Chain A
Amino acid sequence: METLRRRFHVRASDDRAGIADALRQGDRGRLLVLAHGLAGIAGIFGQGDVGNRAAALENAVEQGADEAMVQTLGDALVAALDGVAPAG
């Protein structure tokens, strides 16, 4: 599990960059995929806040929320991912 935890931290960093890029590009399909993945796994590694914010973004994108809402939730998720400690 420790190996998987380290891998999650690397993934979180990659996903943070991907989400920030998808927000800039307005790429909702990519946002949905990245948010869905994080929503399903972050809690396993004690990152419940990341998981909750990812789920909120996923729901917003699925429901066709306006750009401002998606941006706000995306920014919140990026901020939460900033708080994920790098792999030790």
Chain B
Amino acid sequence: MDRILYIDDEADLREIATISLELDPGFEVRTAASGSDGLEAARQWQPALILLDVMMPGMDGPATLAALAANPETSAIPVVFITAKTHPRHVGDLKALGARAVLAKPFDPMTLAGTVRGLLRR
């Protein structure tokens, strides 16, 4: 099983993402409601990939990614940002931070698992 950690402050999106990702029977999904909770989950659970919301109260996506990268226990975990702001310049800025990819939000619940599966194969 490939572990996927989804970090987003929006409860409904966490639930939808879980349902969507579990359409792939090879995924085990956990969620976190904040960047700080996500850091702890990543350290303890060691997911294969993290889906990370950009705009969250408190520790936002870029700050969370920086903290993940700074910790040797989590620095090798690929991170994919999810954001409603998909202007090429914004996407470029996020990739420059070290994200493997940037996915548009709202995501398609029927294709999210396939997209993430593809990102894992990269």
SS class, residues of chain A in contact with chain B = helix
Q: Which of B29-57 contact A (CB under 8 A)?
A: 53, 55
Chain A residues contacting B15 (CB-CB under 8 Å) are 4
21 contacts between A and B (CB under 8 A): A1-B16, A1-B19, A4-B12, A4-B19, A7-B12, A11-B12, A37-B10, A40-B53, A40-B105, A40-B106, A41-B10, A41-B16, A42-B106, A43-B106, A44-B106, A44-B107, A44-B108, A44-B109, A51-B106, A55-B84, A58-B84
CA distance A1 to B108 in the complex (A): 13
Q: Does chain B have a CB within 8 A of A78?
A: no
SS class, residues of chain B in contact with chain A = loop
Partner of A41, one of B13, B19, B55: B13
Q: Which residue of B has the minimal Cβ distance to A43?
A: B106
Smallest distance from the beta carbon of B67 to chain A beta carbons, Å?
22
CA distance A7 to B12 in the complex (A): 9
CA distance A37 to B53 in the complex (A): 12
Which of B105, B106, B108 has the largest count of A CB atoms less than 10 A from its CB?
B106
Interface residues, chain B, with chain A CB atoms under 8 Å away: 10, 12-13, 15-16, 19, 53, 55, 84, 105-109
Chain B residues contacting A28 (CB-CB under 8 Å) are none
